[in-house]
A and B are shown apart, each in its own frame.
Chain A
Amino acid sequence: MIPINNIARRRVLRGMFGGAAVSVGLPFLDCFLNNNGAALANGQEMPVCFGTWFQGLGFSQGFWEPKTLGANYEFGPHLKALAPYRDKINIFTGMKVFLDGHPLQVHRPGPQAAFQGGIPTGAEPPSIDQLIADVIGTRARYRSIEVSCHGSAASFSRRSAGSINPSETSPVALYTRIFGPDFRDPNAAEFTPDPEVMVRRSVLSVITDERNALSTTLGAADRARMDEYFTSLRELEQQLELQLQKPAPLAACTVPNKPDEITTGTVIDDALQTNKLFSGLLAHALACGQTNVINVEFGGTASDLRKPGNPQTFHIYSHEEAIDPQLGYQPTVAWFQQQCVDGFATTLKALDSIREGDGTLLDRVLLYYSTDHGVARVHGLDNMPMMTAGRAGNRLKTGMHLQANADTVTRVGLTLQQAYGVPVSAWGSESNRTSKPFTELLA
């Protein structure tokens, strides 16, 4: 994607260094957009976006997999809620996580392999959302936004073990962060750079100017940590710089209503409601160009979601509930799983209901779905449920069921990185390392 803001930015910065706040009169929207709003008027692509969506404890084996391969598949009975989005969803079966003799730290290897390419043995590698954000996230106000729907600030998004992006747990807090006083509406007729933001940005140079003096006195490990700090600081500076620029108008951008305070936590109804509010806010954030990368954790690993008035968690049920011989699955576990599927469908609906030209926001977004176990009951790591939802700006063919023969889950992650232009030919560690993307999906 071409950085569409450069010219405007230089103009604004010149104005800023001239010492006075600059008021920039803006052309009308249709000068910037083509007829249908699907691309900017100069023919440049709308930004392509990426996200992850995580739920713990997977699906009931035999009840989620499509029966036919390729296009026009039908979801297994437990995934019916996703049917309206089938043509935008790729579903993968037969994917596996290899332990390579590492002790099974239950519930951890699944997300580690899906997001980080394997089970870290030394330094933790960055998560896939950050690798992709390096390519698509740098021109947005927030490089990535993380939310968790079950009350915990945990997150898989990280640069390293020591640099984890914490999740937002409150929709009201997220609203304020994105659409609060510092929000610049890309469609506003007038744009005046805020002198306070200019000051905020410029005083940070006091810190960056001292970087060399500081870093040269440190040992290698501390220097790496200090580099992470300065990478983060640079992102903060870029965030502030973007606030000083006239944002490119985005026809589909509207400011959502401020959500009401709600109870957050592990009760499934609360998680669903939190997810609904987060999904709406994130869809608006993407539509308004505030970020290009989002991470949603619906339930954690070893999910502690539970029914109101019932002390047993989804996780406990996954281990203790007997398989109903008539049904062929654990009924309460399947109920929880379907709540999670409903949650995923809610997120897709939020993205798909924002019209952009002939299509929807979901056409330029892709959500990468993963979980911690194939068979949670026994902490199994075979047949891990994996999906992608959204067309990623047509960088990926969609609507396909792909079956692997016990291949590592990292094949999906490698495929996605290549689709987003991450310069990588192989990804992962030990037996979870692969150089085989799903080439049939790459457009």
Chain B
Amino acid sequence: MLTRFTGNRLVGGVALAAGVALAAMSSISVAYAAEQAAASGVKDVAPAMRRISSDQYTNIVAAVFGPTIKVGGRFEPDIREGGLFAVGASKVSVSATGIEQYHALARSVAAQVVDDRRRDTLIPCRPASTKAADDMCARQFLAKTGRLLYRRPLTNAELEARVAAAGASATKLGNFYAGLQASLTAMLVSPQFLFRHVALEADPAHPGGMRMDGYTKAAQLSFFLWDSAPDIELLNAAENGDLHTRKGLEKQVDRLLASRKLETGVRALFEDMLRFDEFSTLAKDTAIYPKFTIQAVADAREQTLRTIVDHLLVRRGDYRDLYTTRHTFLTPTLGTIYAVPVADDPLSANGTADAWTPYEFAANDPRGVGIISQVGFLALHSHPGRSSPTLRGKALREVVLCQRVPDPPGDVNFTLVQNTSDKVHRTARERLGAHATEPMCSGCHKLTDPMGYALESFDSDGAFRSTENGAKIDTTGVLDGIAFADAPGLGRAVHDNPQTVSCLVDRVYAYGAGRPIAKAEREQTQALAKDFAKDGYRLPDLLRHVATSDAFYRVAP
């Protein structure tokens, strides 16, 4: 049993199953414990420490210091693993160029926090002299801020080191606030802030086993539901041990689910799952698609996210209906692509953003049915100059159904497929059909193309069309044995496909846990899927089930 009393918190009380004796330390990670457990024959799977994402960085800065603090600059590139950045975050570190960027960001944030306009609100005390060190005031600020940034109280040693750094810097520069700024900069560059560490303690409910400590639980919960660090109330619940009781945990989960910040969390979940980061490099040639402007790219992304938030959170709709819903939101820019009139709202015509208007496509309208018929999905999974049944089918398989489509083999001649001026094979279906007769190609194209054909009634920019090169487009297709005539039919097939639901459950769980689902967790996710069905496929209920489950916080799944 390792214990160390630090300030008002007992950190890292650990009893290892294997009874491994360790030197005194402040906390122990799951991975380390797993190694120790594995060494003694206990099978274990563990979450690793996770680097916080650029959005999480921004969200935390806004929550701790207010939304007026500008967070500008480049972040390290994320890595997607198992379909999610949230899982890749367990693999990445910080490069030399990356830390230079984090340092620049930290300096900029810290300078804004202590500037003349904000210091009186953000710093809870005034120094005796602005020209000299003031340890007492620095300690007050750094303890309060450090708890929020590190998602746990600072140990005495940590706090005193930071107070001393602020003091020495203030003396050197002859300015209390410049000293505080320097110390805060170091805090924001620290691995304690940039990575989410996992601290464990003995699990009384599973003698010999371990569980996350309260602060780790709090972070697991808030990053999952808010895409941000715990707030003061959640940290207090962790400190009081409330998160280890069912009642206390449920109370906090319900509070987080009821918060407006849930929208931020749900947006982050779907942006990750639907790979919306790819919008940042999406462009069409405006000579062919003059309506597909930079504004259209931004609006297309936002349209799908708005539809998701409105359907899943505001209306508490059935998740499967996301693929059939005719209800969405449009801007005048998107209206030109969908070819529907959208009135420009004069109140918001300030030159900065388009106005959003709720819009319902008519029951027999082949456009805008479900999120895979929206401009965002269609344009994202197309070539810059033409649509692609293969890319769209592949994205549907991988993103919506969690299936893996193999890479194409080497030495393939693509000439036939890509010659859009081919007089014989005028539509994509004809060109791909000729290409897919080759046995080495047909296997994968059978997976992707039959579902992608239904979306051929949408051009690369998402605009509706009924012909290609003068030939009528055949939109019939098949998904896992279910035949359909057009895009709305595909939407219904996706809606009815059991993998649509199991994929979401798996993604949500892996997103929260930050690791791929282990075999031993299958039972858990299947049970979650059953509950999800019982609850009418309401996302908030699924989030609640995950967030209140023991398995989500246990070390061994």
Expressed in whole angstroms, the Cα–Cα distance for A377 and B417 within the complex equals 13
Which residues of B are found within 8 Å of A319, using beta-carbon distances?
414-415, 418
- B16-54 vs A, Cβ < 8 Å mask (1 yes, 0 no): 000000010111111111110000000000101100000
By a CB distance below 8 angstroms, the chain B residues around A162 are 79, 91-93
Q: Beta-carbon contacts of B94-133 to A below 8 Å, as 1s and 0s?
A: 1111111101000100000000000000000000000000
Interface check A380, CB cutoff 8 A: yes
Q: Could you mark each residue 98-138 of chain A with 1 if its beta carbon is under 8 Å from any beta carbon of chain B, else 0? A: 01000111100000000000000000000000000000000
Q: Quick one: which of B166-193 are within 8 Å of A by CB? A: 168-169, 172-173, 178-179, 182-183, 185-186, 189-192
Question: Is A378 touching B411 in the complex (CB atoms < 8 A)?
Answer: yes
In the bound complex, how far is the Cα of B162 from the Cα of A5, in angstroms? 31
Residues B384 and A313 in contact, CB atoms below 8 Å apart:
yes
Interface residues of B in 142-169 (CB under 8 A from A): 158, 161-162, 165, 168-169
Among residues of A, the one whose C-beta sits closest to the C-beta of B187 is A206
B410 A104 Cβ-Cβ under 8 A: yes
CB of B411 to closest CB in A, whole Å: 5
Known: A153-B74, A309-B287, A316-B383. Is A202-B165 also a contact (CB below 8 A)?
A: yes
Chain A interface residues (CB < 8 Å from chain B): 19, 99, 103-106, 142-146, 151-154, 157-166, 168, 195-196, 198-200, 202-207, 209-210, 213-214, 216-222, 225-226, 228-229, 231-233, 235-236, 239, 265-266, 304, 306, 308-313, 316, 319-322, 377-381
A188 to B224, CA, bound (A): 53
Give the distance to chain A from B153, nearest Cβ to Cβ, in Å: 15
Which of A157, A198, A219, A229 has a CB less than 8 Å from the CB of B34? A219
Cα–Cα distance between A231 and B191 once the two chains are bound (Å):
12
- Does any Cβ of A come within 8 Å of B8's Cβ? no
Whether the pair A210, B409 counts as a contact (CB closer than 8 A) is no
Among B49, B97, B194, find the residue whose CB has the most chain A CB atoms closer than 10 A: B97
Q: With a CB–CB cut-off of 8 A, which chain A residues contact B410?
A: 99, 104, 106, 378-381
Say whether B283 faces chain A, with CB atoms less than 8 Å apart.
Answer: yes
Closest Cβ of chain B: how far from A274's Cβ, in Å?
Answer: 15
Question: Contact string, B279-318, partner A, CB cutoff 8 A, digits 1/0?
Answer: 0010111011100000000000000000000000000000
B173 close to A206 (CB less than 8 A): no
Pick the contact of B186: A153, A203, A214, A232 (CB < 8 A). A203
A429 and B31 alpha carbons, distance in the complex (Å): 29
A-B contact pairs, 10 of them (CB 8 A): A161-B92, A163-B94, A221-B31, A229-B93, A232-B93, A235-B99, A236-B103, A239-B100, A312-B384, A319-B418
Given A104-B410, A146-B97, A199-B173, do A222 and B31 touch, yes or no (CB 8 Å)? yes
Contact check, A214 vs B191: say whether CB atoms are below 8 A apart.
yes
Shortest Cβ distance from A169 into B: residue: B74
In chain B, what residue has the closest Cβ to A319? Answer: B414
A397 and B49 alpha carbons, distance in the complex (Å): 48
Does A312 lie within 8 Å of B412, measured CB to CB? no
- A213 lies within 8 A of B48 (CB): no
Contact assessment for B182 and A200 in the assembled complex, using a CB-CB cutoff below 8 Å: yes
Which residues of the partner chain A approach B346 to less than 8 Å between Cβ atoms?
Answer: none
**Contacts A199-B173, A204-B189, A206-B165; A144 near B385 (Cβ below 8 A):** no
Contact A306 B384 (CB under 8 A): yes
Q: List the A side residues contacting B26 at CB < 8 Å.
A: 213, 217
B95 touches A159 (CB 8 A): yes
Q: B204: CB under 8 A from chain A?
A: no
Q: Which residues of B contact A (CB under 8 A)?
A: 12, 23, 25-35, 46, 48-49, 74, 76-77, 79, 91-101, 103, 107, 158, 161-162, 165, 168-169, 172-173, 178-179, 182-183, 185-186, 189-192, 194-195, 281, 283-285, 287-289, 383-386, 406-415, 417-419, 460
Q: Is the CB of A306 within 8 A of B285?
A: yes
Tell which of B12, B95, B192 touches A165, judged by Cβ atoms closer than 8 Å: B95
Q: A228, B165: Cβ atoms under 8 Å? A: no
- Cβ A311 vs Cβ B414 within 8 A: no
Chain A residue numbers with a CB within 8 Å of B172 are 19, 195, 198-199
Known: A219-B29, A310-B287. A236 touches B413 (CB 8 A): no
Give 14 A-B pairs besides A219-B34, A313-B383 with Cβ atoms closer than 8 angstroms: A104-B410, A160-B93, A162-B93, A163-B95, A164-B76, A164-B77, A203-B169, A203-B182, A206-B186, A213-B25, A217-B32, A233-B189, A316-B384, A379-B412
Given A219-B34, A225-B49, A232-B95, CB of A310 within 8 Å of CB of B411: no
Contact A207 B412 (CB under 8 A): no
Nearest CB on B from A156, distance (A): 12
Top 8 A-B pairs, shortest CB-CB distance: A219-B31, A311-B385, A320-B418, A311-B285, A228-B93, A104-B410, A319-B414, A309-B287
Residues of B within 8 A of A143 (CB): 96
Q: Which A residues are CB-close (under 8 A) to B158?
A: 210
| Cα A144 to Cα B96 with chains together (Å) | 8
Could you tell me the distance in whole angstroms from the C-beta of B465 to the nearest C-beta in chain A? 15
Contacts of B460 in A (CB 8 A): 311
Contacts of B101 in A (CB 8 A): 166
Q: If the complex has contacts A162-B79, A163-B93, A229-B93, are A218 and B32 also in contact, measured as CB distance less than 8 A?
A: yes
B490 to chain A, nearest CB (A): 25
Inter-chain CA distance A214–B29, complex, in Å, is 10
Most buried by A among B30, B162, B189, B289: B189
Chain B residue nearest to A170 (CB atoms) is B74
Residue of B nearest to A105 (CB): B407
Bound-complex Cα distance A99 to B93 (A): 28
Tell me the bound Cα distance from A304 to B383 in angstroms.
10
Most chain-B CB neighbours within 10 Å: which of A99, A195, A381? A195
**What CA separation (Å) do A151 and B281 show in the bound complex?**
8
- Interface pair B96/A235, CB less than 8 Å apart: yes
Q: Are B406 and A204 in contact (CB under 8 A)?
A: no
- State how many angstroms separate the Cβ of B164 from the closest Cβ of chain A: 8
Q: Which of A154, A168, A207, A321 has the most CB of B within 10 A?
A: A207
Interface pair B418/A316, CB less than 8 Å apart: yes
The docked-state distance in angstroms from the alpha carbon of A226 to that of B191 is: 8
Given contacts A161-B79, A161-B91, contact A217 B28 (CB under 8 A): yes
In the assembled complex, which residues on chain B have CB atoms less than 8 Å from the CB atom of A381? 410
Take A164-B76, A233-B99, A313-B384 as given contacts and tell me if A203 and B32 are in contact as well, using a CB distance cutoff of 8 Å. no
Question: Using Cβ atoms and an 8 Å threshold, which residues of chain B touch A209?
Answer: 161
Indicate whether A229 sits within 8 Å of B94 (C-beta atoms), given known contacts A152-B281, A214-B191. Answer: yes
* Complex contact A206–B93 (CB within 8 A): no
Contact status A221-B385, CB under 8 Å: no
Q: How far is the CA of A159 from the CA of B185 in the complex (A)?
A: 25
Within the assembled complex, what's the spacing in Å between the Cα atoms of A117 and B95? 20
Kindly identify which residue among B93, B281, B384 contacts A311, using a CB–CB cutoff of 8 Å. Answer: B384
Q: How far is the CB of A5 from chain B (nearest CB, A)?
A: 19
Q: Which residue of A lies closest to B460 (CB)?
A: A311
Contact between B413 and A378 (Cβ–Cβ < 8 Å)?
Answer: yes
**Within the complex, which residue of A103, A222, A265, A378 is in contact with B49, where a contact is CB–CB below 8 Å?**
A222
Would you call B77 and A153 a contact (CB within 8 A)?
yes
Give the residue name and chain of the A residue nearest to B181 (CB).
A199
Output the least CB separation between A312 and chain B (Å). Answer: 5
A19 neighbours in B (Cβ, 8 Å): 172
A427 to B181, CA, bound (A): 46
A104-B407 contact in complex given A203-B186, A236-B99, C-beta closer than 8 Å? yes
Q: How far is the CA of A244 from the CA of B543 in the complex (A)?
A: 52
How far is A146 from B76 in the complex, measured between Cα atoms in Å?
A: 13
Smallest Cβ distance from A171 to chain B, in angstroms?
14
Which A residue sits closest to B103, measured CB to CB? A236
Cβ contacts under 8 Å, B169 to chain A = 199, 202-203
Distance A213 CA – B161 CA, assembled complex (angstroms): 14
Chain A residues near B92 (CB, 8 Å)? 161-163, 225
B185 touches A203 (CB 8 A): yes
Which residue in chain B gives the minimum CB-CB distance to A16? B172
Interchain CA distance A235-B189 in the complex, whole Å: 14
A201 → B minimal CB distance (Å)? 10
B76 touches A166 (CB 8 A): yes
CA distance A336 to B33 in the complex (A): 55
**Contact B161 A206, beta carbon cutoff 8 Å:** yes
- List B contacts of A161 (CB < 8 A): 79, 91-92
